[in-house]
Structure 1
Amino acid sequence: MDMMPEEARFLKRKVKGGSIDVHPTEKALIVNYELEATILGEMGDAMLGERKECQKVIRIRTLNENTNIGALSREIIDKCRLIHPTKLPEVEQLLYYLQNRKESSSAGTGSTKKSELSERPLDGDLDTTEIDETANINDVEEYLELMYEDLPEKQRASALILQLARNPDNLQELFENETVVGALARVLREDWKKSMELSTNIVYVFFCFSSFSQFHGVIAHFKIGALTMQIIEHEMKKYALWKEELSRKAKPVEGKAGDKAAMKDYDKTKKKFDGLVKKQDQLLRVCFYLLLNLSEVLDVERKMRNKSIVKMLVSCLDREHHELLILVVSFLKKLSIFIENKTEMAECNVIEKLTKLVPVDHEDLLNITLRLLLNLSFDGEERSKMVKYGMLPKLVSLLNNDNHQLIVLSILYHISMDDKCKSMFTYTDCIPMVMKMILEAPGDRVDLELMCLSINLACHKRNAQIICESKGKGPSGLHVLMKRAFKFKDSFILKMLRNISQHDDLEIKMKFVDYISDLTTAIMKNNEDDFILECVGILANLTIADLDYELLLKEYNLIPWIHSKLKPGACEDDLMLEVIMLCGTVCNDDTCAKLLADSGIIQSLIDLLNAKQEDDEIVCQIIYVFYQMIFHESTTEVIIKQTQAPAYLIDLMHDKNAEIRRVCENTLDIIAEVDQDWTMKIQQEKFRWHNSQWLEMVENRSMDDDLNGEYDRPDHDADAYIQGTEALDRPEYMFADYNDMMMEGNVTPEYIDEPAYVDNGRYINVPPDMLEQNGGIGGDYYNTPPPHYGYSDRQYYQDPYGRPVSRGGY
């Protein structure tokens, strides 16, 4: 495309970050990224574009065994814009690998994969067939001819080709020689059962190809992935047979120390078993690594799962070879991000198998195992299994290890989410260690993972008691936490303290009395809503009978501040909720309740009730404030006579939230005891609600009869239903001849020992003449809409006092 210079008005560059890897020989990180350059025309349309894959090498000269990996990782991310901050854990793992990589392993590590996992499962070279010859790329045709000879020649040829494949510079030339690749695939397919060394060499060659995405096509063409899984499955079966034979040889030795022949036979078998397992571990290792590289494509990974790759990997966790275990756990970690794979791991009881690896005397293996546990810990059942199999104290013991501390805190946080597991922390050293980490944290903020764990632990009563305890003659844990919280204005520490203050333990609550002044001062002078929220929450939790709430309100002039927060939109809902709860707490005191009522707080709460009627928690706490005020004589009259609070309570009697209904009912019961007018209204509302279905049916039927101009029965008393007066206001509905009543829930002398009609779990005694008129129990009683019981000539219902009232027939 020819383009004049003046036509190119703008140059647009776009950088897209890619994978991060370690340098094969140096202490350096390799950042892969894609650079896209586009020349835009005068109108902004793309005229010419080019895309290029680039690499940036970050050499780390200060890395040694004493380096703080976390701090170094953050420094690298801050200085290199090509690395997104979300890749901090990946950078930490790669630096940790570099820190522990042996210098001798840098030579001959083969190629560097462009889109590799953050973990480096392979450390150093795989053990392969030893051969004295040095391979030459020019002699490939000779090696190819050997692939058509007997097994020893094939094995020699595969070892020589492997030497060439381990040099990335030779891979393209080998790839272009389709005959060599086809011969390797053919020999592997035909002879993999004949020689473990031959299988290892050829699979390793394809593993070298799999390190680069552009070679995945030829691997898929020859179906090497499916063949590799077949090899793994076969080796698993062989391993089971070997173990069975070894167990059989071990039985005669048990308890027969003097049987030298049996002991000699067992030792010989054990030595042979160890040799075979060592070779098999190498084969399995290279097979799994090949599959791991191929699983970059999601469709390929799905095919592997369908062929039970998860079950194979979990079964390999019983092995002892650390390098193989690193690879297996890395693969499981990659698969665990999908729920189907996680479920299959759970079915294979992966947690029990991982228990032996926590802890383990291999830092790389321990680190990747903890990362897998972190992925699994998002599942509640798997967290429970971690506790069941005794992993909790093991995890706590790793908190002292800086390399694993962050991951362990995250796992412990997930475990602490379950209420039944919180109590288990009291049997470990977790709480003292967490307290020490909080108090010794550098800077003005504690790590979020640490604080989240602490906040959860504080929700358990016994944990809270341990946190508040004093060590010897030193200050209490509550004191040092409160001191740090106010020094750095740390709302997370205060949230932890708020959880401590909520427990129903007077001794714990009394410890907070010394800090009421600090908390109240912070409320009045602090501008940070999060910090104020926690301070108010702590005060709201201090339900102490002897506490002088009146002094608190007056000395700090809290009532105007409370009013300012109870206006709709004045603050966030969370803070508003805590202020309402504080009102409920101080209303325990008669004088405080009077002060709040006289200040007009009830009307403010009613207005807030209208504005936040969809927020069940706010509604419930407002009703609780009314409930607290009703208890005091000084405020009872204010609520009943001067506000519409009882009317709102009646409206909420039948709310869908069970807790709101319960608080409403308790409050209305107290109102009904002290005020007869409201007693009748409450009873009427209960009556309406209880009989709403039947009343609606009667009203609809009466309206239909009126429209049709006719009635079902000539003696139908239409006036009782179609006149303008409300049915509940008509006196004949409210009172009737008591002798004509059918008693519900009680047995009168007239009906003793008589049959009882049963419907909807309620028993009603019925006179014998009624039973005769209606054909016994099986009569019309079953045809009357519940909860009303009657027969063709009489209808029974309840009056506002809960008594059954009879009304003349239709």
Structure 2
Amino acid sequence: MPTKKKLKPGRVEIADDENAIVVLYEIQTTETDDAGNVLKKERTPGTKRVRVKTLSAGSDVPSLALKVIESCKFLADSQVAAVEDALRALQRRELAGGVGAAPRADRDRDALRERYNSSFSGGNAGGNAGLSDDTPASVRNIDDYLEALYDELPEKVKSTAKLAQLSRRVENLEELLAHDSLLGALSRVLKEDGKRSVDLCTNIISVFFSLSNFSQFHPAISEHGMGAKALELVDLEVKRAELREKEHPDFGQVARKMAEGKVLSDQQTKMMAVVRKQDQLLYLCFYLLLNLAEDPAVEKKMKKKNIVVYLVKMLDRHNVELLILAVTFLKKLSIYKENKEKMAECLVVEKLAKFVPCRNEALLIQTLRLLYNLSFDPSLRDVMAKAGLVPTLVELIKVPPYQQVSLSVLYHLSMSDAHKTLFTYTDAVAMIKSMLVQDGDLREVPEVIALAVNLTQAPRIADVMCGDGGAEAITNAAIRNMDSLRFKVVRNLSQGEIAIKRRFKPFIGELVRLLRDESTSGELLVEVLGSLGNLTIPEFGFLDLVREHDLLGFLSHVIGAGAEDDIVLEAVIFAGTICDATTAPLVRLSGLCHDLFRLMSEKKEEDEMVLQIAYAFRRMLPHEDTRMCLLEETQAVLYLVDLLSDKNPAIRNTASECIDVVLDYADPETAERVRRLRFESFNQEWLETTLSEMGPESPMKLDGDRARLMRGDDDVFDDDDGDDGMMMDERRADSAAGWSRNVMWNGDPGVEGEESLDMYGDDMGQLSPDRGDDSPMAGAYVY
């Protein structure tokens, strides 16, 4: 019977445990008879691993993807994009700290374990301390070693050294655990004689440490209280070290000489031999605790016993392996607020600053990761800046293994305006500008664009980045790549002074064409609109572009079609930007003024939208056509008067500017009405009180619209035709009462004596008293 096999390619994933791509496929087997009728069909799933060499930041991913497809028959040519995505994921993982998708803490422990066998040159890292003979340990002699634990101290040291040798081989661990009394005897000896011999402690802790590398043995370790005992040993050794430093003031210099490989005297050599043994014991204790800290409950107990304090103290020592372990452990603990605060109390940043940079790559990368965790705290970011880390981290950007984490720390530092100026005196601006002008997908290195966006908010850095054709090069790259991320930088730069805005004048036409391109994504549309909205260049007119690209129709459609709020907000800003003396008649004919007024009604609870609409009105009011439209065809002025009592100071200021423009250009009758409305808004509470006392027959009347505004009528903002109606915002109506603080009440004229109560606010500018004592308005102040 003929059999046909067909390969059907499937998904492409990355391996969890190695630097490889996993190709999922399916073999479809079909059996047919001689006539071609299908007798049987089978589908057999399968996987194929394609190992990939180390991927650096400069690896050519597209070329590598083609090579992978050529070398693997289970991949189809149509899967190039999927392979590229997988390779980029591997690249990001590699740059983030190593191969394997295991959690960061697991990868850190694996890296420490790889260094373990070569730690502390001399071969004692495994716990052979005090062993004077070279006889290999044997599992057949475990009973003899156990019996020797009851002898004198030297014999105890030798027997524990043999047991430590055995524990270093994984196949011996089950044999050791098979002796029910062994772990109990070791913990007893450690408790009774631990203070008498560092070698004895090292050997016993080494046995439990070997067991701690496997989670299934953690209960046995905890049962014998070795976590608490390890912390007690750490406390003891830390106190011994502090006492030694008091007795030998020059100890720090001796330790540095040894670390630098310089020749020591015999006395200094003996002293450092003791220190080396102590470092070895501390290393094993902390490593044991790091393994046990896989359990959050156990880690919480360690925190209560001040393990953070002990770890920070380790940063003053000079053994590189111990330093790497301490920094790795601190990084694990730093994700909790309580631990981070304790680190800050112990001046951890100042201690870490000396390792940035350092010659040991593992120590440097772990230090940078710890600093990254700590940099989420604003107070610790201030400490990092004061410690001079900004220029050092900028230099580390140039080194691929440290680039990503260095950029991440710098991004956090750039969040503060006080720190941004520190970047001016480094190569950061030049390097970022170089990255921005090169073609490529910046989403692979989001830290670059995040840092660039933060820095370009500083005027001085924006000036530097725009210099030497920087503004033009970045804008060209953004347009060429249709990249919303680069446009975020362009948008920030275009907010600068008029001299910087003029640099973007040659690109306005191209930006408008990009704006009207149907292929422009929503994310890109926001940034392009934002960039155009910033380009208020006095000598540049938008008339030709408005006519050529029907910009007013486009903006009216965006504002009225219920687009996303981000797009609508930028469209509102751009509407104000394009309105000048030449375009104002077209703006009126387009109905854009009505659209903005209606939008203000719909978005009255959103301060940012209200603020930008008020700003657009501010741009339109100086021009006769748009001013007449707003004054005669809408109730915009009445609403602007109401905004004078808004809680948001930016909205109050913008509304006040709008009212000033109306008073400057309006006819006397309109200007008088606006002044009356503004007076009533400022003195609402006083007016209400006075009118109620004077009774309904009082000749004093409020403006009709303003009276309805005070009553909270729903139709305050209704036009004559009812098309542009707007319900009164209760929040804003209530806030209008807040302006009564700007009234100076001089007492009731009908009461003897004068009672003065000063209730005006500090932010209202200069008040001018109305001195007419015979007027029913006596006692009120007008703004």
Q: Normalised by the shorter chain, which TM-score bucket? A: 0.7 to 0.9
Compared CA separation, residues 725 and 392, structure 1 to 2 (3 A): same
TM-aligned CA deviation for residue 446 of structure 1: 5.5
Compared CA separation, residues 65 and 581, structure 1 to 2 (3 A): closer
Compared CA separation, residues 273 and 395, structure 1 to 2 (3 A): same
In percent, how many aligned pairs have the same letter? 35
TM-aligned CA deviation for residue 728 of structure 1: 4.1
Residue matched to 1:565: 558
Residue matched to 2:728: none
Distance across 2 between alignment mates of 1:625 and 1:97: 51
Residue matched to 2:362: 364
Is 1:578 the counterpart of 2:570? The answer is yes
Q: Is the CA contact 1:69–1:95 (under 8 Å) kept in the aligned structure 2?
A: no
Residue matched to 1:711: none
Q: Is the CA contact 1:73–1:88 (under 8 Å) kept in the aligned structure 2?
A: no
CA shift digits 1:310-329 (9 cap, x unpaired) = 11111111122111111111
Root mean square deviation, CA, Å:
4.3
TM-aligned CA deviation for residue 510 of structure 1: 1.5
Counterpart residue identity of residue 144, structure 1: L
Q: Secondary structure of the equivalent of 1:184? A: helix
CA shift digits 1:370-391 (9 cap, x unpaired) = 1111111111121222111111
2:138 corresponds to which of 97, 111, 136? 136
Compared CA separation, residues 58 and 344, structure 1 to 2 (3 A): farther
Distance across 1 between alignment mates of 2:540 and 2:101: 58
Compared CA separation, residues 696 and 559, structure 1 to 2 (3 A): closer
Q: Greater shift after overlay, 674-683 or 185-194?
A: 674-683
Is 1:236 the counterpart of 2:238? The answer is yes
Compared CA separation, residues 387 and 168, structure 1 to 2 (3 A): same
Counterpart residue identity of residue 648, structure 2: N
CA shift digits 1:575-630 (9 cap, x unpaired) = 2212211122223x322223312322111111111122122112111111222222
Q: Secondary structure of the equivalent of 1:94? A: coil
1:721 corresponds to which of 669, 674, 695? 695
CA shift digits 1:642-665 (9 cap, x unpaired) = 332212223323222221122112
Residue matched to 1:554: 547
TM-aligned CA deviation for residue 638 of structure 1: 3.2
TM-aligned CA deviation for residue 533 of structure 1: 2.2
Distance across 2 between alignment mates of 1:367 and 1:288: 19
Is 1:311 the counterpart of 2:302? The answer is no
Compared CA separation, residues 68 and 140, structure 1 to 2 (3 A): farther
2:597 corresponds to which of 588, 601, 606? 606
1:325 corresponds to which of 323, 335, 340? 323
| Structure 1: tracts of 5 or more residues without a match | 1-16, 23-27, 32-55, 99-112, 252-265, 471-475, 703-717, 734-758, 788-797
Q: Secondary structure of the equivalent of 2:181? A: helix
Compared CA separation, residues 457 and 623, structure 1 to 2 (3 A): same
Please give the residue correspondences for 1:12-411 in structure 2 after superposition, counting only pairs within 5 Å: 62=53, 89=93, 93-95=97-99, 117=108, 120-122=111-113, 123-125=115-117, 126=119, 127=124, 128=127, 129=129, 130=131, 131-247=133-249, 267-411=265-409
TM-aligned CA deviation for residue 94 of structure 1: 3.5
CA shift digits 1:177-215 (9 cap, x unpaired) = 221100100011111111111111111111111112222
TM-aligned CA deviation for residue 561 of structure 1: 1.5
CA shift digits 1:411-434 (9 cap, x unpaired) = 111111111111211101112222
TM-aligned CA deviation for residue 58 of structure 1: 7.6
1:632 corresponds to which of 597, 619, 623? 623
Residue matched to 2:43: none
Q: Is the CA contact 2:56–2:94 (under 8 Å) kept in the aligned structure 1?
A: no
Q: Is the CA contact 1:337–1:375 (under 8 Å) kept in the aligned structure 2?
A: yes
Compared CA separation, residues 443 and 785, structure 1 to 2 (3 A): closer
Distance across 2 between alignment mates of 1:480 and 1:166: 60
Distance across 2 between alignment mates of 1:630 and 1:87: 55
Q: Secondary structure of the equivalent of 1:192? A: helix
Residue matched to 1:665: 656
Distance across 2 between alignment mates of 1:19 and 1:118: 19
Distance across 2 between alignment mates of 1:114 and 1:389: 27
Q: Is the CA contact 2:593–2:626 (under 8 Å) kept in the aligned structure 1?
A: no
2:466 corresponds to which of 465, 468, 478? 468
Counterpart residue identity of residue 98, structure 2: L
Q: Is the CA contact 1:21–1:94 (under 8 Å) kept in the aligned structure 2?
A: no
Compared CA separation, residues 432 and 626, structure 1 to 2 (3 A): same
Distance across 1 between alignment mates of 2:391 and 2:198: 42
Q: Is the CA contact 1:93–1:118 (under 8 Å) kept in the aligned structure 2?
A: no
Q: Secondary structure of the equivalent of 1:403? A: helix
Is 1:541 the counterpart of 2:534? The answer is yes
Q: Is the CA contact 1:445–1:488 (under 8 Å) kept in the aligned structure 2?
A: no
Residue matched to 2:413: 415
Compared CA separation, residues 541 and 97, structure 1 to 2 (3 A): closer
Residue matched to 1:512: 504
Q: Secondary structure of the equivalent of 1:591? A: coil
Distance across 2 between alignment mates of 1:144 and 1:152: 14
CA shift digits 1:195-249 (9 cap, x unpaired) = 1111111111111111122221222222111111111111111111222222168
Distance across 2 between alignment mates of 1:73 and 1:302: 46
Distance across 2 between alignment mates of 1:298 and 1:72: 45
Distance across 1 between alignment mates of 2:329 and 2:547: 65
Q: Is the CA contact 1:326–1:368 (under 8 Å) kept in the aligned structure 2?
A: yes
Distance across 2 between alignment mates of 1:632 and 1:667: 12
Counterpart residue identity of residue 155, structure 2: E
Distance across 1 between alignment mates of 2:62 and 2:140: 49
| Structure 2: tracts of 5 or more residues without a match | 1-12, 23-46, 70-80, 254-263, 708-739, 761-766, 779-783
Counterpart residue identity of residue 242, structure 2: A
TM norm structure 1: 0.73
Counterpart residue identity of residue 394, structure 2: V
Q: Is the CA contact 2:61–2:88 (under 8 Å) kept in the aligned structure 1?
A: no
TM norm structure 2: 0.76
CA shift digits 1:347-400 (9 cap, x unpaired) = 111111111111111111111111111111111121222111111111111112
TM-aligned CA deviation for residue 154 of structure 1: 0.6
Counterpart residue identity of residue 324, structure 1: L
Q: Is the CA contact 1:624–1:663 (under 8 Å) kept in the aligned structure 2?
A: yes
Distance across 2 between alignment mates of 1:137 and 1:513: 83
Q: Greater shift after overlay, 677-686 or 164-173?
A: 677-686
Distance across 1 between alignment mates of 2:670 and 2:14: 72
Distance across 2 between alignment mates of 1:199 and 1:287: 10
Distance across 2 between alignment mates of 1:557 and 1:487: 24
Please give the residue correspondences for 1:456-535 in structure 2 after superposition, counting only pairs within 5 Å: 456-470=454-468, 476-504=469-497, 506-527=498-519, 528-535=521-528
CA shift digits 1:278-310 (9 cap, x unpaired) = 111111111000000111111111111111111
Distance across 2 between alignment mates of 1:620 and 1:586: 18
Q: Secondary structure of the equivalent of 2:196? A: coil
